[in-house]
Structure formats: C-alpha cells, structure tokens
Amino acid sequence: MPGLAGAQEGGSGFVQRGITVETSAENAVIARNRALATAQRQAYDKMASELGFSRSASDSQIDGMVDSIIVEQERATRTGYNGRLTVNFNPRRVASFAGISAGAAGATASNGGGGASAAPGAPPANLAASTAAFNPASAFVESVTQFNGMQGWLDLRRRLLAQPEVASVDILAIAVDGATLRLGLRLPPNEAARVLAERGILLQQPGTVVPPAGQVPLQPGGIAPPVRIGASPVPVAVPAAASPNAPWLLGVAGGA
C-alpha cells in the first residue's frame, strides 16, 4: 500500500495543488461551475494514480470526497474562467470509496509515512459513517432556487452535499441568480424535507405553505380546524393550487 501520509505531506495524495483549468460557457457562473467540476476530476485522477487505485467515480461521488477547494489564482470574464486551484480531499471518505484501509491511512500518518498497516481483519474506523456518503439516492426531485451571485450558489451547493440525506445535486439549468436542480435524496422527499428544515435548508413541495403569524394550516382534506361555540373562526392559510409535476422550492432559512 502506498505511503499515504507521505504523499499528503508532499502536496499530493489527498491534497492536490496547482490544478489548472480553463472553461467557457454562456455566463460566468456556469463557466466557473464547470471549472470547479473539471478541477475536482483532474485532482481525483491524479490522486488515484498516486495512491494506486483505479476506481472510476461520478462527478457527485468526487464532490462528496472533497473537503474544500482553495483558489490559488483565478481570472473570470463574462463567459469564461481560468484558474489554478488546490483541491483538498477527505482521507476517510476516499479510503472508504477506494477500498483503502482507513485504519492503515491513520497509522501511516502517525508514523510519518512509514506505511504501517492496520491489524488484519480490523474494520476501518468510522467506516459506516464514511460509506454512508456513497449510498445511492432512493428518490429524485426537481427543485428551483434563487441565490445572490456565484458565491451564493457555491455555498448552497456545498451545504446541500454536506447533508447525509442528499446523495447528488445535478444542474438542469442555471443563471447568475437562480437554478433548476435535480436532487437525489436518500429518504422519501417529504421526510428528507423535514430533516433538512431542522438544519436550515428549506425544501417545499409546491402548494404547501408555512402559515403566517395568527393563521393555522388546513387539516387533511381541506377542512378548517374546529371552532368553539360562540368563538370567531381562526384564519387559515390556504395553499395555492400547483401542478403535481411542478418543481419543489429550495432555499435556506432566513435567506442565509
């Protein structure tokens, strides 16, 4: 097995520096997004070659292994982007995906790249948690979202992919202030929406509403809540009619 920690310390392995990319598209947001995806794939291929594994990976799987991207140098135009980037991979997620012993990787790091291996038959530490990031999606929903510029989109994308319930984020259309996405979910959509809402990510099916202050939602079947005799009816929040195939609404709490 290659000396993983030694490779990392040398600016290779899990840390890939000096990745150069140049792309063009109909606008700067798409150009930069393509450049980041290209940089991640170049970095993944280089890392795989250095660490001695050859497992192919989709763009979403590679994105799930990336901890961060550091811009060393960049230049953007109205329709183009070129830059030099550093791509930092998560060692445990890479180890799980590539079949490299995470325990061996940790032992190698603690021994300064000596290549020590884990005890035979010992399971990698936190293997279940790291493998969860690569479970396939069980449901897909189309969603629309709005954001403030390129950084807003990148922050939203990174935040989504950091959630265990989100398996993939595919772009169907994108502009400088919004996008249509295809989200791969590891839970049924309504259940995933509830869990994501607890973390500040709002995923709402068209026609559902969050009642304004002083109003309550309709009960199942469109029935208003009961009212005591002699009391005034409580205003209800009536959902707007929506097509069953309309995209879900995606955003973050407070517009953050």
Does position 179 have pLDDT exceeding 80, yes or no?
yes
Query: Domain 139-210+237-255 has what CATH class?
Result: alpha beta
Phi, psi of 222 (to 5 degrees): 75, 25
**pLDDT by residue (tens digit) across 106-116?**
333 334 444 43
pLDDT band at 104 (very low <50, low <70, confident <90, very high): very low
Phi, psi of 173 (to 5 degrees): -160, 150
Q: Determine the Cα–Cα distance for residues 196 and 124; give it in Å rounded to an integer.
A: 29
Q: Determine the Cα–Cα distance for residues 249 and 189; give it in Å rounded to an integer.
A: 12
Q: Are 70 and 18 in contact (CB under 8 A)?
A: no
Query: What's this model's pTM, rounded to 2 decimal places?
Result: 0.47
pLDDT band at 234 (very low <50, low <70, confident <90, very high): low
Residue extents of the structural domains in the chain: 4-132, 139-210+237-255
Select, from the ranges 36-40, 207-211, 218-222, 241-245, the one with the highest average predicted confidence (pLDDT): 36-40
Three-state DSSP at 213 gives coil
Q: Determine the Cα–Cα distance for residues 62 and 40; give it in Å rounded to an integer.
A: 7
Does position 5 have pLDDT exceeding 50, yes or no?
no
